[in-house]
Amino acid sequence: MPEFVVTALLAPSRLSLKLLRALVMSLVYLAAVVAAFVYSCIALTNVLCHPRRGCCGRPRLTAPACLRDPTLGEHCFLTLRSSGLRLHYVSAGRGNGPLMLFLHGFPENWFSWRYQLREFQSCFHVVAVDLRGYGPSDAPKDVDCYTRDLLLVDIKDIILGLGYSKCILVSHDWGAVLAWDFSIYFPSLVERMVVVSGPPSSVFQEYSIRHIGQLFRSNYMFLFQLPWLPETLLSLSDFQILKEIYTHRKTGIPCLTPCELEAFLYHFSQPGGLTGPINYYRNLFRNFPLEPQELSTPTLLLWGEKDYTLQQGLVEAIGSRFVPGRLESHILPGSGHWIPQTHAQEMHQYMWAFLQDLLD
C-alpha cells in the first residue's frame, strides 16, 4: 500500500489523539490552578502562624549525624555510562550475596531504606541510591532530563556499573513507578521485585479515570506541573509543608526523631534542591495515554491499609495485569504510605519468605 494512502488512513486517529491530549492537558492545568490556590492558602497560613521561621526555607549548613551512620553502609558515587551523571549511593554487604537495589520515592532519599540496609546486608549486597536530582546525586536543571526513558536507563547503568547482570529491585512510591516500567523494558536485569505503595503508571492512569477519588488524593501532582511555584510553596515557613508530610499525626511517620527529619530536609533545603524531584512530576503526562502492559516479573507487593495517597483498589487493578502466579500481594493492617519506615519488621518478614529460595 502506498505511503500516502497509509498516512491518509491514519490521519483521523492521529488527529483524535492530539485532540485528546490537548483536552487532558487543559484539564491538568485547570486542576493545577485550583491546587495552586489551595496550597498557597496552606503555605501562607503556615507563615502567619509561625512568623519567626520567616518566609523562605533555611538552608541547612551541616548534614545531620544520622546521614553519616557507619552501620548503614559506605557512601560512594557511581558515574553512569549513558549520561555521565554521578549518582550517590550507600552500599553494605558486598560479597554477601545477590544485589538488592533500593529505589526511594518523594519526598525521600536513600535514608528512607535505613532499616532495610541493616536487615539484609548479611545475605545481600544492599545498595540504596539517591536518584538523579536527589541529595548529592547530580541534578540537571532541564525538565527534559527527567523523562521516564532517561530514569530507566539510569537504573540499568547502576546495576551494570556495580558489576551485576541482574538484581532484586526494592522500591517505594516514585521508585515503584520506575521499577514497574523497568521490569517491563529490562526484564533480564530483574530477578525479583519488592514493590511498596506504588502502582504502574498505566494502571494508575486507568484506575484514576474510573475512580475520581484517587485524583483528589493525588492533587499535589497537579500543583507540581507548574514552574517555580511548587518549590516556593514547599519552602515557605522553613519547609513546613514538607515537615507536615513527615510528621502528621495520622499520615506521617510515627516516632521520627528530629535528626531523622533533618536527614530528609537537609538536601531539599539546599539551593535548587526541590527542583529535580519535582521535575519527575512535570513529565508525568508527557506520554498520555499509556498502553496497558502485561506484568510478569515475580513480585511481592505490599500496600498500606490506611494509605492516604493511594487507594486499596489499586492492588486489585495491579493484580489484573499480572501473569497468573507471579504476584504475591499483602495489605498491611494499620499501616499507611511509609511502610519501609513505619512497619519495617512486617515488611522484612514478607521479604525473607519471598526471597528464601534464592538463599537456599
Question: What's the pLDDT score for residue 9?
Answer: 47
Model confidence at 109: pLDDT above 60: yes
8 A C-beta contact, residue 230 and residue 278: yes
Question: For the segment 41-71, what is each residue's pLDDT rounded down to a tens digit?
Answer: 999 999 998 888 877 888 999 999 999 999 9
The CA-atom distances, in angstroms, between 71 and each of 63, 123, 171 are: 17, 15, 21
Q: Residues 225-234: what's their mean pLDDT? A: 97
Give the burial string for 238-249 (b: 16+ CB within 10 Å, else e). bbbbbbebbeee
Right CATH number for 65-206+285-358 from 3.40.50.920, 3.40.605.10, 3.90.1010.10, 3.40.50.1820?
Answer: 3.40.50.1820
Question: What's the pLDDT score for residue 7?
Answer: 52
Question: What's the pLDDT score for residue 57?
Answer: 84
Question: What's the pLDDT score for residue 140?
Answer: 97
Query: Whole-prediction pTM value?
Result: 0.94
Beta strands in the chain (DSSP E): 74-79, 86-92, 99-103, 125-129, 167-172, 190-196, 299-304, 327-332
CA dist 61 and 64 (Å) reads: 10
Query: Of all residues in the chain, what percent carry a pLDDT higher than 70?
Result: 95
Question: Please, what is the average pLDDT of the chain?
Answer: 94
Question: What's the pLDDT score for residue 293?
Answer: 87
Catalytic residue status for 337: yes
Catalytic residue status for 164: no
Which range, 44-48, 207-211, 299-303, is most confident?
A: 299-303
Catalytic residue status for 248: no
Question: What's the pLDDT score for residue 53?
Answer: 83
Catalytic residue among 154, 281, 307, 343: 281
Question: What's the pLDDT score for residue 17?
Answer: 61
Q: Residues 273-280: what's their mean pLDDT? A: 98
Domain boundaries, the chain: 65-206+285-358
Model confidence at 12: pLDDT above 80: no
HSE-CB for 255 with a 13 A CA cutoff = 3
CA dist 304 and 166 (Å) reads: 28
Model confidence at 149: pLDDT above 50: yes
Question: For the segment 240-273, what is each residue's pLDDT rounded down to a tens digit?
Answer: 999 999 999 999 999 899 999 999 999 999 999 9
Catalytic residue among 130, 138, 173, 181: 173
Question: For the segment 71-99, what is each residue's pLDDT rounded down to a tens digit?
Answer: 999 999 999 999 999 999 999 999 999 99
